[in-house]
Amino acid sequence: MKQKFTICIALLLCLALALGLTACGADDREASAQLFALGALIDLKAYGRDGEKAVADAGAALTSISDLTDPENERGSVYQINHADGAPVAVNAQIAAMIQTAQTVSANTDGALDLTVYPLLEAWGFLDENYRVPEDAELAALLAHVGMDKLSLAPDQENGGYLAAAAAGTRITLACVARGAASNAAINAMRADGVKSGLVSMSGSVQTLGTKPDGSRWNIAVMDPNNAGAYIGYLSVGETAVVTSASTDRSFTQRGALYHHILNPANGEPANSGLKSVTIVCADAQLADCLSTALFVRGERAALQYWRDYGGFEMLLITNDGRAVLTDGLYGVFTQSGGDYTVSYVK
């Protein structure tokens, strides 16, 4: 009897040990998916028992925002605003938050960020890749309908929610904020499913949830704007968003001149700010998305002044003259591994 009891205890101990090992393995198990949304190929990773559900829910969140912000989707908010001939359109809280964030950044950067540049992007061919340099008269005519003062957002007092309206003849794009908003939504979906470690990666931006399953920090590569497919180094981060805007993302060359898609709303032309790329490190991917565009347009000096005035983020600037300028919060976080750049930190 004693022998049988001993065997039972041994079996129970083995079973407990096996269950413990299974649980650890489940916590580290990776679930991943890849989808195309928001004009980009997106990679999703989540670790843990509920990883597969988290990845599926994150993908659904991304797709929803992609549909809402697609200017060609008749059911989407952007399409409806652009075809309302100035009439207000009901939008949900997600769209309202995107517009509000863009409005704030625009106001704080003297209009460097502008959601009404859609016709300008169209004229340059950045929407359909039929690239061309518009005539001055064409740009002047389009600029008459450009300006954040032509886009309004107000609470819908009667039905709840919000009402957005663009002036007649004005068309908007949320391209400079939608990817960040979608990344936030995907991370929040993972978090709601109980996942403590995950990653969302799409063209020029990465957002992390927690740390790696083993507790170590994520290494996020920073692309080299002078060498396609190469990186200048990496950032070792915990839970945050890393968003980059670069002149090489969408560009074309004509008669020896390079034209890129980050337009200066003041003149309708590609921003000539002395910068090749701007990388923002910030907890809020939606804000980081807006800042990376606006501060690219503003240039090095104004970008650093904005950082000093408002804070809440760190920044890495790549200049036309071969310098990598980092805010001091990235000291010890950035490791250079490529490119012939002079690295400096500012306070």
Instruction: Return the CATH number at 78.
Output: 1.10.3980.10
Q: Are residues 234 and 336 in the same domain?
A: yes
Q: Are residues 226 and 162 in the same domain?
A: no
Q: Are residues 151 and 228 in the same domain?
A: no
Residue 273 lies inside a defined structural domain of this protein: yes
Residue 330 lies inside a defined structural domain of this protein: yes
Residue 209 lies inside a defined structural domain of this protein: no
pLDDT-derived band at 255, boundaries 50, 70, 90: confident
Please tell me the predicted confidence (pLDDT) of residue 300.
98
Q: Is the pLDDT of residue 50 over 70?
A: yes
pLDDT tens digits, 137-164: 999 999 999 999 999 999 998 888 999 9
Per the structure, the count of domains in the chain is: 2
Q: Are residues 320 and 248 in the same domain?
A: yes
Residue 63 lies inside a defined structural domain of this protein: no
Q: Is the pLDDT of residue 9 over 60?
A: no
From 124, 149, 166, the end of a domain falls on 166
Q: Are residues 160 and 222 in the same domain?
A: no
Higher pLDDT, 340 or 165: 165
Q: Please compute the mean of the pLDDT values over residues 79-102 and round it to a whole number.
A: 98
Please tell me the predicted confidence (pLDDT) of residue 192.
97
pLDDT tens digits, 257-303: 899 999 999 999 999 999 999 999 999 999 999 999 999 999 999 99
Q: Are residues 161 and 224 in the same domain?
A: no
Q: Is the pLDDT of residue 171 over 90?
A: yes
Residue 134 lies inside a defined structural domain of this protein: yes
What torsion, rounded to 10 degrees, do the Cα atoms 177, 182, 187, 192 define? 130
From 166, 200, 228, the end of a domain falls on 166
Which residue blocks in the chain are alpha helix, DSSP H?
Answer: 2-28, 51-69, 77-82, 93-108, 118-124, 136-143, 175-192, 285-298, 300-310
Q: Could you list the residue range(s) of the whole structural domain that residue 131 is in?
A: 72-166
Q: Are residues 221 and 342 in the same domain?
A: yes
pLDDT tens digits, 190-205: 999 999 999 999 987 9
Burial 48-70 (b: 16+ CB within 10 A, else e): bbbbbbbbbbbbebbbebbbbbb
Residue 331 lies inside a defined structural domain of this protein: yes
Average pLDDT, whole number, for the chain?
91
pLDDT tens digits, 229-254: 899 999 999 999 999 999 988 899 99
Cβ proximity of 102 and 115 under 8 Å: yes
Please tell me the predicted confidence (pLDDT) of residue 26.
58
Any idea what the CATH number is for the domain that residue 282 is in? 3.10.520.10
Q: Are residues 229 and 341 in the same domain?
A: yes
pLDDT tens digits, 13-37: 333 333 333 344 556 789 999 999 9
Residue 196 lies inside a defined structural domain of this protein: no
Alpha-carbon span 108 to 113, nearest angstrom? 9
Q: Are residues 228 and 339 in the same domain?
A: yes
Cα-to-chain-centroid distance, residue 143: 26
Please tell me the predicted confidence (pLDDT) of residue 19.
33
Q: Is the pLDDT of residue 5 over 70?
A: no
Residue 157 lies inside a defined structural domain of this protein: yes
Q: Are residues 224 and 328 in the same domain?
A: yes
pLDDT-derived band at 228, boundaries 50, 70, 90: confident
pLDDT-derived band at 2, boundaries 50, 70, 90: very low
